[in-house]
Amino acid sequence: MKLNEAKQQFIQSWGAIGTQWGINRTMAQIHALLLVSADPLSADDIMEELQISRGNTNMNVRELIDWRLVEKVLKAGERKEFFIAEKDIWKVAMRITSERKRRELDPIIKVLEDIGEIDGDKKDKEVKAFTDTVGQLQKFARQADKAFDNLIKADEHWFTGTILKLFK
Amino acid sequence: MKLNEAKQQFIQSWGAIGTQWGINRTMAQIHALLLVSADPLSADDIMEELQISRGNTNMNVRELIDWRLVEKVLKAGERKEFFIAEKDIWKVAMRITSERKRRELDPIIKVLEDIGEIDGDKKDKEVKAFTDTVGQLQKFARQADKAFDNLIKADEHWFTGTILKLFK
DNA sequence: TTAAAGTTTCAGAAAATTTTGAAAATACAA
DNA sequence: TTGTATTTTCAAAATTTTCTGAAACTTTAA
């Protein structure tokens, strides 16, 4: 398989997978493109490569920067901005994990707390079914929350250089 | 907070979260409704409660059954079908995990294998950038694949009754 | 300053996804 | 069988999400 063909397939697949996980196709494609590019790309490069508009490019690059998956770099003597992706896949996974945790898990825990305590007869089977499920979810969500925190913390500190490298 | 109000909020939140993870809103809402219902519900019950059409109900219940999160139950003397959700959140998490693994991770690994070996000069920095990233992703995906397999296997066997219960 | 290069914004258009509802299919009782 | 209750299907409609492109804005060099 030729490089360009393989690149193209990677970009398309990454886009499709992103879609299934609630990430917009273009954002995933830009990410894929930057992940496999040797050098920083400009907005024009991305537009050209993916055949998308300037507005779309700008919005999704900004979103990727928000997620700390991509950053701006400047080239000496060039007025344009260029973009580069974090290439260490472990770091990428960590950033996505911590970002989704912050944006989604934390709010879930809040909702579960709000609705966990309800008025009404605790003997009523409808009440019981509700509080049982919500209680289980609370426990589960808190456990997951802690687990992710530890994972992220561990990665940001000492572990990084030693034990976790075994898994890379 | 009253039971019905809390139930309603749970259903809405679950739907919103589902959307962010690429699961359609109605599917998540039906799941939420069944999770907090004491008794099995019929298609009519679900339609009534969520104010959705019969077709929509049917499609999404079928999908939930596909995911092994919901099952049909029959009531003696009733011609209608009723539905009930798996209520053990640990099992729910396992099923979602193994289903997404099967549907998504496995195909990713296949794509990465297909595109991992490309023609061309391995000294070329474009080629190198591509194969490096794809190689890292392959390693990562395989590691994740194994980890999930072990988790699922462990849960299906001996562990279930003993060690893992500590985390519930 | 001015103007050219580059970036951002956002209303409307396009595309993708979800939902409806009625017809067809199926299951069951008499 | 036949008739009725129930479930399933799927084309079209509604909704949601994404994308475009041109105007507004910003930055920089001269």
A65-106 residue pLDDT tens: 999 999 999 998 899 999 999 999 999 999 999 999 999 999
Of B1, B19, B111, the CB nearest to A119: B1
* Structure-model confidence comparison of residues A165 and B28, the more confident one: B28
Q: A162 — phi, psi (to 5°)?
A: -120, -90
**A3 closest CA partner among B133, B138, B119, B125:** B119
Strand D: residues with CB below 7 A: A 24-27, 51-56, 59-60, 79; B 19, 42-44, 54-55, 58-59, 61-62, 78-81
Tokens of A43: 């907005």
Torsion, Cα A76 A79 A85 A88, to 10 degrees, reads 10
pLDDT at B122 over 60: yes
Task: Indicate the residue of A13, A20, A130 with minimum beta-carbon distance to B3.
Answer: A130
Burial of B150 (0-12, 13-18, 19+ CB in 10 A): exposed
Q: What is the pLDDT of residues B11-66, one digit of tens each?
A: 999 999 999 999 999 999 999 999 999 999 999 999 999 999 999 999 999 999 99
Measured CA A91 to C1' C15 distance, in angstroms: 34
The candidate with the shortest Cα–Cα distance to B136, out of A12, A151, A162, A90, is A90
pLDDT average, residue stretch A121-135: 95
* Residue B158 pLDDT > 80: no
Burial zone of B115 (CB within 10 Å; 0-12 exposed, 13-18 middle, 19+ buried): buried
Joined together, the tokens standing for residue A107 give 């709010």
Model confidence band, residue B151 (pLDDT cutoffs 50, 70, 90):
confident
Q: How confident is the model at residue B121 (pLDDT cuts 50, 70, 90)?
A: confident
> Please, what sign has the CA dihedral across residues A146, B92, B78, B45?
positive
Nucleotides in C strand less than 7 A from protein CB:
5-11, 17-23, 28-29
The answer, yes or no, to whether residue A162 has pLDDT greater than 70, is no
Sign of the four-CA dihedral A92, B98, B150, B146: negative
Which residue in B has a C-alpha nearest to residue A86's C-alpha?
Answer: B133
Contacts of A21 in chain B (CB under 8 A): 21-22
Specify the pTM: 0.91
Return the pLDDT at A161: 57
Return the beta strands (E) in B29-160 as ranges. Answer: 41-42, 70-74, 81-85
C-beta neighbour count of B44 within 10 angstroms: 11
CB nearest A38 (choices: B6, B119, B125): B125
Coil vs helix vs strand at B39: coil
Per-residue pLDDT averaged across B100-109, rounded?
93
Average pLDDT over residues A125-147: 95
Question: Cβ of B16 under 8 Å from any chain A Cβ?
Answer: no
Residue located via tokens 């709010």: A107
Res A158: pLDDT: 60
The answer for residues whose C-beta is within 8 angstroms of residue A53's C-beta and 6 or more apart is: A47
Mean per-residue pLDDT of chain A? 92
Does residue A128 belong to the interface with chain B, where contact is any CB pair within 8 Å?
yes
B41-42 and B81-85: which strand pairing? antiparallel
E strands in A59-138: 70-74, 81-85
Strand partners, B44: none
What are the E-state strand segments in chain A?
A: 41-42, 70-74, 81-85
Structure tokens at A83: 């973009």
State the average pLDDT over residues A130-142: 96
Strand D bases with any atom < 7 A from protein Cβ: 5-11, 17-23, 28-29
